[in-house]
């Protein structure tokens, strides 16, 4: 298949599968995968990757192993029942590509939403839901991109690695666990929202704790107290 034929086959497959692609994103949003509660969405994703014919790796990150790494961030919850999922499409010796995305989202208070945060409701050309941008759209994009390639009869020469990781919102340990397990590639893309621009850099992150001390005082001598909140 020549380059132009390949391009047309891919675009045609995407156009024909538009409804399926959007429906897949809506299914991802329907899982309230708040950090710490990622099990059910991961089971759903693993099943879908298996249907696509990928090699599936499902495992719970080793909390004790993570604690020994210099990139470890203090968390108060381990990873029992919170597996990472990796799907691999084996190539034929070409350069490999790794796509990464996190499945966890921050909590959603339904009373603060105009649309149900777990429905993926479409209004006009917009889809609303918790994680629609950060980052279930990225998960849907990387999954459906490979699915469309396969449906178009195109099999990449190199390995394609899809990582679906837990605990990004608090620590990034899901991705760190993938690194510790040995997943590597010649190139990688984190499928976070980007306004469709390539962002070849990271803002970085520093975790720190500030302790502000006050001075307690009884209600009868309130003026002698020092409010740590006001000082902060």
> Is 57 one of the annotated active-site residues of the chain?
no
As given in the structure block, the two tokens for residue 176 are 């760190």
Q: Which of 38, 57, 163, 168 is catalytic?
A: 168
Integer CA distances (angstroms), 232 to 5, 215, 226, in order: 62, 13, 11
- d(CA 46, CA 48) in angstroms, rounded, equals 5
Q: Residue 104: which of 80, 84, 127, 75 has the closest Cα?
A: 84
Q: Which of 38, 57, 104, 147 is catalytic?
A: 104
**17, burial (CB in 10 Å: exposed 0-12, middle 13-18, buried 19+):** middle
> Is 168 one of the annotated active-site residues of the chain?
yes
Q: Would you please indicate which residues are annotated as catalytic (active-site) residues?
A: 104, 168
């Amino acid at each position: 298949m020549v380059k132009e034929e390949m391009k047309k086959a891919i675009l045609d497959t995407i156009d024909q599968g538009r409804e399926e692609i959007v429906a897949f994103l809506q299914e991802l949003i329907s899982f309230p995968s708040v950090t710490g509660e990622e099990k059910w969405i991961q089971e759903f994703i693993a099943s879908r990757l298996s249907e696509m014919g990928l090699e599936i790796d499902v495992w719970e990150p080793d909390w004790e192993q993570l604690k020994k790494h210099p990139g470890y961030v203090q968390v108060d919850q381990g990873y029992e029942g919170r597996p990472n999922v990796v799907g691999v499409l084996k190539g034929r010796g070409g350069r490999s590509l790794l796509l990464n995305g996190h499945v966890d989202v921050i909590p959603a208070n339904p009373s603060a939403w105009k649309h149900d945060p777990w429905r993926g409701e479409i209004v006009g050309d917009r889809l609303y839901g918790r994680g629609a941008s950060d980052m279930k759209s990225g998960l849907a994009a990387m999954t459906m991109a490979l699915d469309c390639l396969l449906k178009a009869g195109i099999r990449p020469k190199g390995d394609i690695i899809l990582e679906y990781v837990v605990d990004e919102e608090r620590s990034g340990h899901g991705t760190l666990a993938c690194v510790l397990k040995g997943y590597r590639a010649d190139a990688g893309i984190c499928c976070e929202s980007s306004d469709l621009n390539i962002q070849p850099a990271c803002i970085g992150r520093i975790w720190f704790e500030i302790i502000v001390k006050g001075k307690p005082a009884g209600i009868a001598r309130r003026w002698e107290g020092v409010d740590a909140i006001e000082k902060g």
